[in-house]
Amino acid sequence: MKCKIKIWIYPLAIMGMVLFFTSSCKKDKNSPLETGTVTDVEGNVYQTVKIGDQWWMAENLKTTKYNDGSAMPLVTDSASWAESSTPAYCWYDNNVDNKNTYGALYNWFTVNTGKLAPTGWHVPTDAEWTTLTNNLGGQLLGGGKMKSTGTIEAGTGLWYSPNTGATNESGLTAIPAGSRSNDGAFSYIGIYGYWWSSSEFESVASYAWFLQLQYGVSPVFRFPDYKNFGFSVRCVKS
């Protein structure tokens, strides 16, 4: 419980406001957004969107294989997850029915293999997340432009009400897939979305940087946390 509480209080503590692979792109006639697709080694097809000069996955990664075709470890047991210092992935609540909607949750050690993203893509660095945020108007404005619209209560989306500021103006369609903490517990689906960067935290060897969006506020946040947390992954074109 201690770890879950820490994620909750990060915004208060650090409020310094401080995706064999193919791809294609097109200009939507009814939208200013330039969109496309990318396919992973398992045949999963992801929508993509161009934001600034960057191409981003507009869906959470859900592959269970590295881009060389080898399988990555599925870890369901909470104690094994908590003790892990090697690559691992899971589905939220260990329920594979969450795969298509929310994607997988990966620990940072999986990210660090350098084989998680489709060929020609990579997991973004902290600096690349910052570039995306800046392209959307900065931390205060960027979050709402990233978040998918609608609410669970209204039956129109995946975020709990109020889903403050959500416009999905960017086309990133960020969703609240929740997390798996470093004690193996699942939490915050519908409330928070967390996405790994490939960047380690300079001051603490056991931490890495990630991006966070919340249901109740519109800013975007960046924090470091334990590498054995399970977060979502979006990829950016290399």
Q: State mean pLDDT over 101-115.
A: 98
Q: How many CB atoms lie within 10 A of CB 75?
A: 23
pLDDT digits (tens, 9 = 90+) for 173-202: 999 999 999 999 999 999 999 999 999 999
Per-residue model confidence (pLDDT) at position 17: 34
Per-residue model confidence (pLDDT) at position 32: 86
Phi-psi region of 100 (alpha: psi -120 to 50; beta: other; left: phi over 0): alpha
Q: How many CB atoms lie within 10 A of CB 169?
A: 18
pLDDT digits (tens, 9 = 90+) for 46-58: 999 999 999 999 9
Give the percent of the chain with pLDDT over 70: 87
pLDDT digits (tens, 9 = 90+) for 82-97: 999 999 999 999 999 9
pTM of the model: 0.88
Give the C-alpha distances (Å, rounded to integers) separating 205 from 71, 133, 227. Answer: 27, 25, 9
On whether the CB atoms of residues 91 and 98 are closer than 8 A, the answer is: yes
Q: How far apart are CA 82 and CA 75, in angstroms?
A: 10
Q: State mean pLDDT over 57-85.
A: 97
